[in-house]
Amino acid sequence: MAPLDQTYLAPPVPRQAQGELLRLDGVSFKYPGGHAAVDGVSLSLGPGILGLLGPNGAGKSTMMRMLATLTRPTEGRIIWKGVDISRDPDALRVSLGYLPQDFGVYPALSAREFLRYLAAVKGLPQKLARRRVDECIEQVGLSADADRRLGDFSGGMRQRVGIAQALLNDPQLLIADEPTVGLDPGERLRFRHLLTELAGQRLVILCTHIVSDVEASATALAVMRKGALVFSGSPEALLGRADGKVWDWTVEPERLDEIRATHHVSNSLRRADGVRVRLMSPTSPGPGAEAVQPSLEDAYVSLLADSEER
Contacts of 252 (CB under 8 A, 6+ apart): 274, 275
pLDDT for the residue numbered 53 = 95
| Residue 176: inside a domain | no
Distance CA 217, CA 196 (A): 6
What's residue 13's pLDDT? 43
Residue 263: burial class (beta carbons within 10 Å; 0-12, 13-18, 19+) = middle
Predicted TM-score (pTM) of this structure: 0.84
* Domain assignment present for 254: yes
Q: Within a domain: residue 259?
A: yes
Determine contact, residues 21/172, Cβ cutoff 8 Å: yes
Question: How many other C-beta atoms are found inside a 10 Å radius of the C-beta of residue 99?
Answer: 24
Q: Is residue 301 part of a domain?
A: no
User: Is 71 a member of any domain?
Assistant: no
pLDDT at 172 (0 to 100): 93
Domain count, the chain: 1
d(CA 294, CA 297): 8
The verdict on residue 267 lying in a domain is yes
Q: Average pLDDT per run of 10 along the chain, which is 310 residues long?
A: 36 56 96 93 95 92 94 96 94 91 88 94 91 93 94 89 91 89 79 81 89 87 95 94 93 92 90 92 93 92 79
Domain annotation covers residue 274: yes
| Coil, strand or helix at 286 | coil
**Residue-level pLDDT at 135:** 94
Per-residue pLDDT of 243-275, as tens digits, reads: 999 999 999 999 999 999 999 898 899 999 899
How buried is 104 (Cβ within 10 angstroms: 0-12 exposed, 13-18 middle, 19+ buried)?
Answer: exposed
Within-domain flag for 52: no
Dist CA 102 CA 107 (whole Å): 15
State the pLDDT at residue 186: 81
pLDDT at 288: 93
**30 three-class SS:** strand
Rounded CA Rg of the chain: 22
Q: Are 230 and 303 in contact (CB under 8 A)?
A: yes
Domain of 279 in residue numbering reads as 244-292
CA distance to 52, 138, 220, 303, per residue, from 206 (Å)? 6, 22, 11, 19
Please, are residues 145 and 111 in contact by the beta-carbon 8 Å criterion? yes
Q: Say what the pLDDT of residue 18 is.
A: 55
